[in-house]
């Protein structure tokens, strides 16, 4: 199944994609238009706790959330994906109750909302494409497009996302699911 490029889709790295920035990644496309595209890699957690990276936000103290490596562009910049029932200030809708922002006040507000059904992920850096660049990568077969799923972004074991998607794509891709990230180790 091929899904048209647009915000709210997954870009799944084809098994043949060798770029180490994107090998075996799943990117949530958050923006796509005439100015280019922006997304975050949803399956590369780092070993850094969010409270370590953002000590200026007291409500994060004691949180066990890890930072994710969102991509190679602006690796010192933090972007937040929020899954919440309501849009918060300084965020914009990506898809299905998922919002993106870089405003730490929005994260603080979300963490203090009653109900506890909200979730978030914090990403350092992002994936960015100049106008036409992603379309060219699509023509070369670098990416497989699928509808994004909030449960994959917020609930699935991040290190299994790419492999599980490969398995779900059928027998042609199933063999790649257990392929090592470094093909020379095969």
Q: pLDDT 10s digit of each residue in the chain, 186 long?
A: 568 999 999 999 999 999 999 999 999 999 999 999 999 999 999 999 888 888 888 778 877 789 999 999 999 988 999 898 777 778 889 999 999 986 777 777 777 766 666 788 999 999 999 999 999 999 999 999 999 999 999 999 999 999 999 999 999 899 898 888 776 665
What's the CA angle centered on 48, arms 19 and 112, to 5 degrees? 120
The residues pairing with 32 across neighbouring beta strands, listed in sequence order, are 37
What's the predicted TM-score (pTM) here?
A: 0.92
**DSSP labels, 6-52:** -TTEEEEEPTT---TTTTT-EEEEEEEETTEEEEEESS-EEEEEHHH
Considering only CA atoms, which of 34, 24, 48 is closest in space to residue 143?
24
Domain range list for the chain: 9-185
CA atoms within 13 A on the CB side of 100: 18
Which CATH code is given to the segment(s) 9-185? Answer: 3.40.1740.10
């Amino acid at each position: 199944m091929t899904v048209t490029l647009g915000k709210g889709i997954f870009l799944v790295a084809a098994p043949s994609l060798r770029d180490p920035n994107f090998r075996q990644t799943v990117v949530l496309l958050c923006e796509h238009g005439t100015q280019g595209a922006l997304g975050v890699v949803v399956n590369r957690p780092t070993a850094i706790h969010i409270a370590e990276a953002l000590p200026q936000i007291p409500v994060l103290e004691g949180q066990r959330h890890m930072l994710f490596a969102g991509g190679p562009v602006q690796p010192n910049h933090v972007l937040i994906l929020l899954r919440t029932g309501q849009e918060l200030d300084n965020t914009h809708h990506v898809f299905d109750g998922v919002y993106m922002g870089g405003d730490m006040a929005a994260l603080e507000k979300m963490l203090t909302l009653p109900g506890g059904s909200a979730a978030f992920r914090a990403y350092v850096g992002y994936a960015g494409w100049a106008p036409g660049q992603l379309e060219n990568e699509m023509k070369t077969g670098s990416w497989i497009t699928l509808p994004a799923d909030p449960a994959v972004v917020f609930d699935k074991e991040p290190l299994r996302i790419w492999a599980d998607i490969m398995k779900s794509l059928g027998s042609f891709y199933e063999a790649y699911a257990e392929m090592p990230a470094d093909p020379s180790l095969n």
